[in-house]
Amino acid sequence: MSNRVASYCPMRAHLIAFVAALFCGYQVYMQAAPGSMVNELMSGLSIDLAGVGFLASCLSYSYLLFQMPAGQLLDRFGCKQLLPMAILSVATGSLLMAFADTLWQAALGRVLMGAGSAFAIVGSFLLASEWYAACWFPLLVGLFEMAGMAGGMGATTILPAMVDVFGWRTGMMINAVAGLVLAITVFFVVCSGKRLTAPEDAGEISNDAQYPVFRTLLLNSLYGLCMFGMVNVFAMLWGLPFLETLYPENQSEAGMGLACMYLFIALGTVCSGWLAGVLKKCRILMMVGAFSGLNCLMVILYVPMPLFLMIMMLSLFGFASGFYSLAFLQSRQIAPSRKLGQVLAVINGSMLIAGIFFQPLIGWLLDQQLASGHRLSVAYFQIALSPLILLLLLALLVAGFSKDPLPVRKHGT
In this prediction, residue 203 carries a pLDDT of 41
Contact (Cβ atoms closer than 8 angstroms) between residue 405 and residue 87: no
Whole-angstrom CA distances from 187 to 152, 184, 287, 290 are: 24, 5, 40, 39
In this prediction, residue 82 carries a pLDDT of 92
In this prediction, residue 152 carries a pLDDT of 80
Looking at the predicted structure, is the pLDDT value of residue 201 above 60? no
319-344 pLDDT, tens digit each: 999 999 888 876 666 666 667 777 78
Whole-angstrom CA distances from 283 to 109, 278, 363, 392 are: 39, 13, 34, 15
Phi, psi of 404 (to 5 degrees): -75, 120
Average pLDDT of the segment spanning 250-261: 79
Average pLDDT of the segment spanning 79-101: 92
Sequential DSSP letters for 209-231: --S-HHHHHHHHHHHHHHHHHII
Looking at the predicted structure, is the pLDDT value of residue 211 above 60? no
In this prediction, residue 197 carries a pLDDT of 44
Q: 205 in helix, strand or coil?
A: coil
Looking at the predicted structure, is the pLDDT value of residue 263 above 70? yes
> What is the share, in percent, of the chain residues with pLDDT greater than 70?
87
Looking at the predicted structure, is the pLDDT value of residue 133 above 90? no
Looking at the predicted structure, is the pLDDT value of residue 30 above 80? yes
Q: Using alpha carbons only, what angle is made at residue 321 by residues 317 and 322, rounded to the nearest 5 degrees?
A: 120
In this prediction, residue 23 carries a pLDDT of 94
Whole-angstrom CA distances from 17 to 141, 173, 224, 254 are: 11, 27, 23, 33
Looking at the predicted structure, is the pLDDT value of residue 372 above 80? no
Report the C-alpha gap between 346 and 77 in whole angstroms: 18
Looking at the predicted structure, is the pLDDT value of residue 247 above 50? yes
Average pLDDT of the segment spanning 85-110: 93
Cα 71 from chain centroid?
A: 16
In this prediction, residue 205 carries a pLDDT of 42
Provide the whole-model pTM: 0.74
Report the C-alpha gap between 275 and 252 in whole angstroms: 35
Looking at per-residue pLDDT, the higher value among 97 and 331 belongs to: 97
Contact (Cβ atoms closer than 8 angstroms) between residue 142 and residue 272: yes
Looking at the predicted structure, is the pLDDT value of residue 407 above 70? no
Worst-scoring range by mean pLDDT, 186-195, 222-231, 397-406? Answer: 186-195
Give the contacts of 221 (CB within 8 A, at least 6 positions apart).
327, 346, 347, 350
Angle of helix 326-333 relative to helix 282-302, nearest 10 degrees? 160
Looking at the predicted structure, is the pLDDT value of residue 48 above 90? no
Average pLDDT of the segment spanning 284-295: 94
Looking at per-residue pLDDT, the higher value among 25 and 10 belongs to: 25
Looking at the predicted structure, is the pLDDT value of residue 287 above 90? yes
In this prediction, residue 410 carries a pLDDT of 38
Closest alpha carbon to 138 in 328, 407, 347: 328
Exposure string of 214-242, with b = 16+ CB inside 10 Å and e = fewer, is eebbbbbbbbbbbbbbbbbbbbbbbbbbb
Taken in order of first residue, the domains within the chain and their CATH numbers are 10-192+212-401 (1.20.1250.20)
Determine the length of the chain.
Answer: 413
What's the mean pLDDT when you consider all of the chain?
A: 83
For residue 21, how many other CB atoms are within 10 A of its CB? 22
